[in-house]
Structure 1
């Protein structure tokens, strides 16, 4: 019995001699500081994603425009024939008409997206040159429609322009043999926040325009 009392005294002394520290939870100020830091971080991520979305849109538009510009050059060369005046190759004058591109002569009351409106099916006003014989003018009209569809597939605001720096205005050709052909695809610049662009004068002929572009200069 005496031994038991001695053991209990020893235990009591150990308990009294130990240092028990009280535990406290996070205070309101610590929680507010944590939430503030988290909010600042999330705002930074959101701003980065917002800016990145504009950069991605511009990159997609530029990639598609590069592909379409190459297609225009290929179709012009495929449609070229020897000139009757001068030495070299020429194409039908309709290839250099603004009415040939961007669905200028077509109308649609359906979808607001030009690709859905004009390109899911061949419009009645466009000649069927797929596997059938077409004149040069009909082929130019068909090519203009097909190239315009390719241009607006990813960006409905992309415009196609084919022009010529004619070296002989006295002959019957809008683009005489040996002349420089300019293929130009433009689309409005998408800006975000304080991001600024250095605009190319060749993409923005009129004052107040704000376009990005892809252009190719070729000779048939």
Structure 2
């Protein structure tokens, strides 16, 4: 049996440096993608939790308004005025758990049996977010996130 000799015969032993670098690049890209997906998931979970807190608080206020129709004027308030009467102070404590949280409960002037419960918070974390509009048609990054519940007594 003859063995080939000379430059036409090439044998490869192990992996080349380029194959190792490509493997590392693919691996690192996958790890960075997985970490990015995890961080995005955590952020969305936080937003969902904040919305759930706002909905729960608005439903609590709605329930109390329905139960205490005779003293419903006591429920018209804005947490920026630092209410001290119970249960307004407890709602203030609960809304303070939301970033830049604020509650505004108003009575409709044209129909005194209709109340609007608006809860605001800073979902984006930006310092320029200060507006308190609940208009869903506005796409203004300076507006706080808002949940609004309208109650008919």
Structure 2 vs 1, CA of residues 214 and 27 (structure 1 numbering), >3 Å: closer, same or farther? same
- Root-mean-square deviation (Å): 3.2
Q: How far did 1:200 drift? A: 5.7
Determine if the alignment matches structure 1 residue 50 to structure 2 residue 39. Answer: yes
Q: Which residue of 1 aligns with 2:91?
A: 147
Structure 2 vs 1, CA of residues 203 and 54 (structure 1 numbering), >3 Å: closer, same or farther? farther
Q: How far did 1:190 drift? A: 2.4
> Does the 8 Å CA contact 1:184/1:216 hold for their aligned counterparts?
yes
Q: How far did 1:23 drift? A: 6.8
Q: Say how many residue pairs are matched.
A: 140
Structure 2 vs 1, CA of residues 203 and 79 (structure 1 numbering), >3 Å: closer, same or farther? farther
Determine if the alignment matches structure 1 residue 91 to structure 2 residue 24. Answer: no
Determine if the alignment matches structure 1 residue 37 to structure 2 residue 18. Answer: no
Q: Which residue of 2 aligns with 1:111?
A: none
> Does the 8 Å CA contact 1:96/1:163 hold for their aligned counterparts?
yes
Q: How far did 1:39 drift? A: 1.4
Give, in whole Å, the separation in 2 of the partners of 1:200 and 1:142: 26
Q: Which residue of 1 aligns with 2:82?
A: 105
- 1:72 aligned residue (31, 53, 61): 61
- Partner of 2:87, secondary structure, is helix
Q: Which residue of 1 aligns with 2:146?
A: 213
Structure 2 vs 1, CA of residues 32 and 162 (structure 1 numbering), >3 Å: closer, same or farther? same
**1:174-185 pair list within 5 angstroms:** 176=112, 179-185=113-119
- Partner of 1:56, secondary structure, is helix
**1:17-32 pair list within 5 angstroms:** 24-32=13-21
> Does the 8 Å CA contact 1:187/1:212 hold for their aligned counterparts?
yes
RCO higher in structure (CA 8 A, sep ≥6): 1
TM-score (structure 2 length as normaliser) = 0.73
